Structure 1
C-alpha cells in the first residue's frame, strides 16, 4: 500500500489540545446519506450502509452509503457531461486558478480534516494534522505547471519540409481510487493533476475512510469548481470494480495493494484503458559502515515506521554491516521502544492502532511467523492489550526483529504494520543484492557519512525512489514503483502527463 508523500515536516493541528476526548468531538460528518454528484450532495440511490469504525476503540461512530451500480452510473454520467462542457476548454491558467482556490479552502478545514482522518484510520494527530497543508502544497505545485500546458510544442520534421504541432489534450473522465492509510493526500495527488489537465473525475475512497475526503469535496465546491467536474461515491471494494470497468471511464488511477492493482491492471488492459498504479513496497534502508547512528535514530521512525508502519515507501528492512550489527540492532530497538503508543488523538502519541481489525490480525500473523521462523523480537511482538493499558482498539506493539534471514516472510512480504526487520550483510555488494532481492521496488534509504558513497549505492538500488540519510518525496519529482510496486508515476510533470493524451497536427513548411 502506500503513503503520504510530503516535502514538509509534520505540524500540529492548531485547534487541537494535547489530548481530545472523543465524547466532546464535534466533527462535520459522521452518519451521512448522500454522495456528491453533479455539483451537489445528493441522496444515494443504493440503500445499503458502510460503517465507520474508530480503530483506537473498535467502536462504530459513523456510516456512509454503500453505493450501487446506479450511483456509479450517475457519477460517471455527471463527469461525462462536465467533460463535454466548459472545463476542458478553459485555459490551463484558468484551471490553475481553481486549484489555488481549492488549496485555500482545504487549509481552512485543516483541523476538521485531521480529526476526521484520525478517527477513521487511527493516524496520530501529530501525523494527520499535516494532511491539509500537504494537500494544499500539492494543489499549488500543479497549479504552477499551467505554463507547461500552454507552451506551444512545435517539432520540425527531421528531414525538413514540415513541422508538427503537438497538442496535449485531457484524457477524459478519470476514476480516482484511494487507500485508507493517507486518505486525503493520496486522493489529492491524483485530483490536482487531473483537474489541471482538464479532466473530470469520480472519486472512490477506501471503505474504512469515507468521511474525511468529503471535506476536500466541500473545498472543491467552495472554490466554485463547475458542477460535475468532481464527483464522490462511497462504498465497498466491489464498487471500485464497477467503476474501473465502467464503459464511460477513460483512465484509472489507483493506490493500494498489489493484488488489487493486478486486477485493475488486467481490467484496464482488457479495455485498453490507461492506468496509474501505486502499489505495495518492501523497501530497504542500507546502513553503510560509516553511518552516524545518532543521526539515523533521529529520522528512523519517519523513514522506517511512519504512520505506525502503514506507509508504502518506508524501509521496513534495515540492512546492517556485520561489523556493526549489534550496535544497529540496539539503536533501532531503543528508538522504536521509546516512541509512545496510545490514543491517536493525543499529540504526544507516535504509534497509534492499525487501521482496521483485519489489518490488526494480519500484522499479528506476521509477528508470529517471524518467531516461528527463528527471528528474535528485541522489542514489542504482541498485541498491545497483552501489555496492559490498550485493551480497546486494534493496537500492535511496535516490533523489531533481529537475526532475520532473507527467506523469512517478515523479510519478503509487505506487512503494513509496526514491524521492522534487521538483516546482516558482509559487504556493500551483498547489501545491494539484498535490497534488490525483492518483488517490489518503491522506496529505500542509504545511511552514510560519505554522501558520494551513499549516492553510488543509491544509484545501484532497483527502486523508484531513494533517500540519502532521510526519506521524503518531492512534489516536483516523479514518485512511482518498479516491478510489483506499480505502473506509472505521480508528482512532477510526469504525473501531470499521466492525465494527458497527445495529438500531432502535421503541416508543410
Structure 2
C-alpha cells in the first residue's frame, strides 16, 4: 500500500472545494428552535473536512439559555403533538420519509464532508433513514389497540394505556450522524414525544436535513429542535429539568456519565455504547463467501462502526488460511478520496481519532502482534486524517488491541484451540453488542450463535432488522432500539382499574 502522489492529493482538494459550493449548510447562524433559526451568542466551532484538513463550515456552541429555549419549545409543542392520533402522526412521519429521500444527494455530500465516510456509505443514509421512519410508522396501530387485562380472581379488569414519555434529549455520535438520530427520532415521534437533538461536534450540519424534511411533511414547529455544541452542551441537556428521557449513542465512558446523571435524576435513559465484537470462524466455514462480506462485517465505515466484528477467531487448522484471505481482501480494498464511489476506506473522522487509532496500532506492534498489511506506516494520503487499513495476526486475548475498542480500520485475528475455546474468547470481553458465526452448517452455526453473550449476532452475515430489537449487554449499553421494544422506550404505561364489563 503506497502513498498516493502529490498531484492526486491536489486534485482531491480541488474536487472537494468545488463540491462544498453545492452545500446549502456551511456557516450556519444559530440553532433550530421552535421552527426558527435563533441568533446564537456563544463561540463558534469549525467543521473540518477529514480528507483534506480544510475548514468548510461552522456552528454555534449552545449555552444554557439556548438549551432552555429548545426544551421550552419542545415542551410547548408536546401537548398538541401527543393529542394527535398515532395514525395521524404516522402519516406525517411517512411524508417526512419521502422528503428525506428527495434530499439524498446533498445529505450524502454533507455527511461525507463532516466525517469522511465514503460516498459509497453515505449515499444510502437517506434511504435507510426513510426506511426506519416507515417501519415505526407501521407500528402505530399497536398504540391504538385496546389492552384490557382481567384480574386474576375475576370480577375486575384493568385498561392499560400507553402515554408518550414527554420531551426527549437525543444525543448522537459522529460515525452515522443521520441514522443514529433517526433510530431515536422515529419512535419518539410515533409515540407522541417531542425532541431536542444534539448532534456530535464533528457532524453538526447533515442533521439539518431531517428538520427540513419534517417541515416539508407538515410536522409542527417545536416537535423537533436542534442545538449544536460539544460535551458541555450535552451535559446541560441531559441534566435539564424539562427533559423526560435521554437517548444516547456514543462511547462507553461518556455513557457511564450520562447513566450516572440520569440515575441521580430518576430519568429514563437508553444507551447504545461501544463494542468489541467477535466473528467466530468455524472449521467448515466457506472463506471465499466470507471474503465477500468481510469489509462490511468487520471494517464498515473505515472501521468506525460500533457493532462490527473486529476480532476474528478460528481454530488452528483454518488460521493460516484465514490470515491469508483477510490480508488479501483488506489489501485489495481501495483507499482514497471519500468522494470517489470506488473508495472503500476513507479518512477517519478527525485528526484526534487518527492519532488514537495510530496509538492502538503501535500498541499492537509493541505487544507482539504481526501486521500483515498496514501497521505503523505512512498514511495513504497526506494532510488529512488517513490511517492505513491494518490487519494484525498472532494476536492474543490479553493484548490491548484484542480488548479495547479501536474505532478505526484495524482488524485482529486470534487462534483458539477449539470451538468451545473460541466461544470463551468471544464472551471474554466487557462488551456485548454484535457478533457473527461463519460456518458451513448453518444449524450448527445458529446453535453456536445462541451461546454468544451479545445483544445481536448473525450467521454468515450481520445486518440490522428495523423490526427487531438492537442493543448491547454489559459495557455496550442499556435498553434497545428498533422494533416494538424500541418504541416502548418512549412510552409510559398507565393502568386504569375498573369493574369488569
TM-score by length of 2: 0.96
> SS in structure 2 opposite 1:423?
strand
In the alignment, the residues of structure 2 paired with residue 190 and residue 322 of structure 1 have an alpha-carbon distance, to the nearest angstrom, of 43
Residue 19 of structure 1: CA displacement?
11
Alignment match of 1:158 (pick from 135, 138, 152)? 152
Alignment match of 1:409 (pick from 400, 410, 428)? 400
In the alignment, the residues of structure 2 paired with residue 364 and residue 496 of structure 1 have an alpha-carbon distance, to the nearest angstrom, of 39
Contact 1:180 1:206 in 2 (8 A): yes
Alignment match of 1:380 (pick from 364, 370, 374)? 374
1:326 aligns with 2:320: yes
> SS in structure 2 opposite 1:309?
coil
Residue 23 of structure 1: CA displacement?
2.3
1:501 aligns to what? Answer: 492
In the alignment, the residues of structure 2 paired with residue 291 and residue 352 of structure 1 have an alpha-carbon distance, to the nearest angstrom, of 30
Residue 189 of structure 1: CA displacement?
0.5
Alignment match of 1:485 (pick from 463, 473, 476)? 476
1:433 aligns to what? Answer: 424
2:273 aligns to what? Answer: 279
Residue 381 of structure 1: CA displacement?
0.8
Q: How does 1:176-255 map to 2 (within 5 A)?
A: 176-255=170-249
Gaps of 5+ in 1: 1-17
After TM superposition, the runs of 4+ consecutive aligned structure 1 residues lying more than 4 A away are none
Deviations 1:412-449 (A, max 9, x none): 00000000000001111101000000000000000001
1:31 aligns to what? Answer: 27
In the alignment, the residues of structure 1 paired with residue 14 and residue 125 of structure 2 have an alpha-carbon distance, to the nearest angstrom, of 18
> SS in structure 2 opposite 1:417?
coil
- Number of residue pairs matched? 487
In the alignment, the residues of structure 2 paired with residue 72 and residue 57 of structure 1 have an alpha-carbon distance, to the nearest angstrom, of 33
Contact 2:47 2:58 in 1 (8 A): yes
In the alignment, the residues of structure 2 paired with residue 277 and residue 91 of structure 1 have an alpha-carbon distance, to the nearest angstrom, of 28
Deviations 1:13-36 (A, max 9, x none): xxxxx9991122111111111211
In the alignment, the residues of structure 2 paired with residue 33 and residue 207 of structure 1 have an alpha-carbon distance, to the nearest angstrom, of 16
Contact 1:20 1:346 in 2 (8 A): no
2:99 aligns to what? Answer: 105
Gaps of 5+ in 2: 1-11
2:8 aligns to what? Answer: none
In the alignment, the residues of structure 1 paired with residue 231 and residue 378 of structure 2 have an alpha-carbon distance, to the nearest angstrom, of 29
In the alignment, the residues of structure 2 paired with residue 40 and residue 108 of structure 1 have an alpha-carbon distance, to the nearest angstrom, of 22
Residue 339 of structure 1: CA displacement?
0.4
In the alignment, the residues of structure 2 paired with residue 373 and residue 23 of structure 1 have an alpha-carbon distance, to the nearest angstrom, of 42
Alignment match of 2:284 (pick from 253, 276, 290)? 290
1:313 aligns with 2:307: yes
> SS in structure 1 opposite 2:467?
coil
Alignment match of 1:65 (pick from 60, 76, 93)? 60
Residue 454 of structure 1: CA displacement?
0.3
In the alignment, the residues of structure 1 paired with residue 261 and residue 13 of structure 2 have an alpha-carbon distance, to the nearest angstrom, of 45
In the alignment, the residues of structure 1 paired with residue 93 and residue 78 of structure 2 have an alpha-carbon distance, to the nearest angstrom, of 17
Contact 1:20 1:345 in 2 (8 A): no
